[in-house]
A and B are shown apart, each in its own frame.
Chain A
Amino acid sequence: MKKLGKQTLQLDNKPTILNTAAIVGPKELNGPLAKYFDKCVEDEFWGEASWEKAESKFIKETVSTVLGKADVSSSDIDYVFAGDLLNQCISSCFGMRDTNIPFFGLFGACSTFVEGLCLGSVFIDSGACKNILCATSSHFCSAEKQFRFPLELGNQRTPTSQWTVTGAGAVILGKADNGPYITHITPGKIVDLGIKDANNMRCSNGSGSFIHTFCTF
């Protein structure tokens, strides 16, 4: 592993994405990517009493799906890197509660998942770890509740209000002979370009303050 330039790390030992899983909600089911998801859930509550509990269930089920697909038990996972949009990464914490895997909680807003991949691949590249789990979740309803207004409020969304995904994704990183490999990671810097419209999260979070983090495969 060595540093290239100012921001990039080159990984020499080919950390590999061994398996992936994604479970999503009803809006994603109707989107163009529907066929790539492992499961689409039509009920936004997924049988739970609150959206936060539903989000926890999304990440929990996604993790058990990816473990099942990779045929790895949770005791073979060295560390998990997980995060979400809610206070104290609450859905990841509750989602991971029963897995008994050492846990790193991350918050990087939109970049949380790639942040997890970056850090996890460094752990694999170091040679100290065999399997790393990276996971993230978000839920449209819990995010609206936390960052905007209650869903029952009769207001109008501005045309630049983005829709938060309802769903969760997980990958297992390890080492294998065939890829996809993670070869380089380039974390972004915070760049504040002064967009103050809190509803326009893509411009104010995503690129107004750039947190563009790249993993190069």
Chain B
Amino acid sequence: MNPTDSPKEYGEYVKKKAPNSPILKDCFNAFWVGGLVCCIGQLIFFFCKYKGLDETSCSTVVSISLIALAIFLSAINVFNRIGKFAGAGTIVPITGFANSIVSPAMEYKSEGYVMGVGAKMFTVAGPVLVYGISASVIVGLLACLFL
């Protein structure tokens, strides 16, 4: 039987031949690195609280610090290496969101600051913003109407 006889057979053939992602290893690494990111955030939180900030300000400082750290690591080409290892562990927290905006900005800098950095900065994060903001508007309207 020729594997290229029909799309169905070819699909099965490709599935059989293609290497799978090492899901257990990926999950494990994502779990502990993601946990570590959260611990770092929590440490910053405790530190701010110890210094006398109120809880809302502490949360803001945590977000800002983690974003700054992720941007710095992206800029020195370290974040992508951590991300290759940790996967969702660094992509899902706020660090991943920061990286997803900085990385196209770095990549497209060669095309200029307006049409490159400015226009392409949100190619990865754009959909998250569009649907995230749209969803929050809808939820807000519903809350306004029914609560």
Q: Which residues of A contact B (CB under 8 A)?
A: 49-52, 145, 149-160, 191-195, 200, 203, 207-208, 210
How many Å from the CB of A10 to the closest CB on chain B? 26
| Residue ID in chain A nearest B5 by CB atoms | A193
B4, B10, B91: the one contacting A154 at CB < 8 Å is B91
The yes or no answer to B45 lying at the interface (CB within 8 A) is no
How many Å from the CB of B73 to the closest CB on chain A? 9
Contact A152 B20 (CB under 8 A): no
B7, B18, B91: the one contacting A155 at CB < 8 Å is B91
A157, A207, A210: the one contacting B84 at CB < 8 Å is A157
**A-B contact number at CB 8 A:** 85
- Chain B, residues 33-76, CB within 8 Å of chain A (1/0): the string is 00000000000000000000000000000000000000000100
Interface residues on B, range: 35 or more
A-B contact pairs, 12 of them (CB 8 A): A50-B111, A145-B108, A151-B103, A151-B107, A153-B83, A153-B104, A159-B20, A191-B4, A194-B11, A195-B10, A200-B18, A203-B14
CA distance A149 to B106 in the complex (A): 12
CA distance A49 to B110 in the complex (A): 7
Q: Which residues of B contact A (CB under 8 A)?
A: 4, 6-7, 10-11, 14, 18-21, 26, 74, 77, 79-84, 86-87, 90-91, 96, 99-100, 102-104, 106-108, 110-111, 124
Contact A156 B102 (CB under 8 A): no
How many Å from the CB of A211 to the closest CB on chain B? 13
Q: Which residues of B contact A207 (CB under 8 A)?
A: 4
CA distance A197 to B19 in the complex (A): 14
Contact A154 B110 (CB under 8 A): no
How many Å from the CB of B89 to the closest CB on chain A? 10
Contacts A50-B110, A154-B96; is A200 near B82 (CB within 8 Å)? no
CA distance A128 to B64 in the complex (A): 68
CA distance A176 to B70 in the complex (A): 60
| Residue ID in chain A nearest B86 by CB atoms | A154
| Residue ID in chain A nearest B87 by CB atoms | A156
Contact A153 B103 (CB under 8 A): yes
Contacts A152-B77, A152-B80; is A159 near B19 (CB within 8 Å)? yes
CA distance A210 to B124 in the complex (A): 30
Contact A154 B7 (CB under 8 A): no
Contact B107 A195 (CB under 8 A): no
Q: Which residues of A contact B20 (CB under 8 A)?
A: 159
Contact A145 B96 (CB under 8 A): no
Contact A158 B21 (CB under 8 A): yes
Contact B96 A160 (CB under 8 A): no
Contact B18 A153 (CB under 8 A): no
Q: Which 5 A-B pairs have the closest CB atoms?
A: A154-B83, A50-B110, A194-B7, A150-B107, A152-B103
Contact B18 A203 (CB under 8 A): yes
Q: A151-B80, A193-B4 are in contact. List 4 more A-B contacts (CB 8 A).
A: A153-B83, A157-B84, A194-B10, A200-B14
